[in-house]
Chain A
């Protein structure tokens, strides 16, 4: 038998690569098609938002938070204003809280649609699921545009409430969406849930064990797919989430399929929350009395919400000036990437892409 001289190949996947969802880079060592080592490289989209925030007033930081997780930017607004409200001791009018919940859940649906769509795209389904999901997402973006005038960077929430009340056309359109959406989710299930190729590609691949998930501070669908029932909407209810009935879908295996499944189920429950929130929406003001130049008392506050990607936390330190002394962002996907190496080692190139897609990162949030 002739001895073949072989050596592992190092491939830089990214920063320009179709499936890195932005400018992420994986330095991967391959033995044939099998991954033997992987090192994530961050920072290609680092804009120093935490530093920028230190020289802007509390209100001026809100547009910056839009640029974090640009697929679900309204949740970033929410987490940030929640932290500042906690710091300054501001109570938000009830109508504003309801509208925040409505926006958050719409955001969750639109973000999960994109996450699942791109996951399928990464696995080679030639754009079809993505296109079907974009159809629903566009409808949601229309509604966001109606409320705040933008489709992607909303800058809608304000410290103490919201910048605008919803226009009268909003609720009928949202109602229609809520009625239609379950049907479309069923269609996605029909297209994908039992597809043998999808099952073969995702079941048992990239398994994140329950223990490791908790130990590595994973959050959001990644954590719940591993079988941990931890949703901040339930565990530490913010806004008015304690008034709604909904379930937190839990996976069992912690593989790619469960992450996909959890996201699809979460959309169903988000629709349910939307239904209840529309029904219970009170009338009244949407903005509390807040001075235009807010000077919160000296101190610090940490507020976290369940963003579509996991626990999004803002840690704000105030020194009683008009700008935050320090703003730290606990970005869910950044921390979810901790275990990326463990998930892909030993799998094939194609699996690495799928695992990466199932974590559903947004580079704006990872690199800040």
Chain B
């Protein structure tokens, strides 16, 4: 059984290394500051006891106030999982660091989030539309797109 790690517990561990990286946390998830995503992800991937080697899924969600990217992380070694969230308040030019350098699996998923939700991932090697065609106006999975 994959144990879902408590967000608070993990955020305490993160807080020891990166004091102001965590925005908030509860049982289910850890919400990070966008700027610190990459180094925290590096920490989560490398730290013994956590070792999140498998990036299951990246979902972009539009909450109207902010855009949220949800990372579902899994550790195959320890068989536990964690939900990591990053928020972005700038709706016009949302930008977050890309995690492709850590997990190749983020490649297509980040492109998809960019395509459909409109979050630009800085540092992505090939960030362009994937499901829709080049030159498509807008980002369909935003709630204000009709």
Q: Measuring CB to CB, which residues of chain A are less than 8 angstroms from any residue of chain B?
A: 42-43, 46, 48, 50-51, 54, 212, 214-218, 228, 230, 235-237, 242, 300, 302, 304, 311, 313, 315, 317, 325-326, 328, 330, 334-335, 337-339, 367-368
Contacts and interface: CB of A to CB of B under 8 A. Distances in A.
Nearest to B136: A43
B61 interface: yes
B14 to A, nearest CB: 21
Given A212-B104, A235-B79, A236-B79, 4 more contacts: A215-B105, A217-B105, A326-B141, A335-B109
Contact of A51 (B56, B61, B130, B140): B140
Interface in B64-99: 70, 72, 76, 79, 83
B47 interface: no
A43 B132 contact: yes
A214 B131 contact: no
Interface of B: 1-2, 28, 53-57, 59-62, 70, 72, 76, 79, 83, 103-109, 112, 116, 129-133, 140-141, 143
Nearest to B60: A328
Contact of A42 (B2, B57, B116, B131): B131
A50 B53 CA distance: 27
Contact of A326 (B28, B56, B61, B79): B61
A42 B72 contact: no
Given A50-B116, A214-B76, A368-B131, A338 B62 contact: no
Contacts of B55: 217
Nearest to A328: B59
Given A51-B141, A328-B59, A338-B105, A236 B132 contact: no
A367 B54 contact: no
Contacts of A300: 28, 70
A42 B79 contact: no
Which 7 pairs across A and B sit closest by C-beta, in order of nearness? A217-B105, A328-B59, A236-B2, A330-B57, A216-B104, A43-B131, A46-B131
Contacts of B109: 217, 335
A230 B81 CA distance: 14
Contact of B59 (A228, A235, A237, A315): A315
Contacts of A48: 140
A289 B56 CA distance: 32
B103 A215 contact: yes
Contacts of A334: 108, 112
Contacts of A237: 1
B57 A215 contact: no
Contacts of B112: 334
Contacts of A339: 104
A339 B116 CA distance: 22
B70 A315 contact: yes
Given A42-B130, A46-B131, A216 B76 contact: no
B42 to A, nearest CB: 14
A230 B76 contact: yes
Chain A CB count within 10 A is highest, among B1, B61, B131, for: B131
Contact of B104 (A50, A215, A368): A215
A217 B70 CA distance: 16
A143 B134 CA distance: 44
B79 A315 contact: no
A328 B2 contact: no
7 contacts: A43-B133, A48-B140, A235-B2, A315-B70, A326-B59, A330-B56, A338-B108
Nearest to B59: A328
Nearest to A215: B104
B107 to A, nearest CB: 5
Contacts of A315: 57, 59, 70, 72
Nearest to B105: A217
Contacts of A368: 131
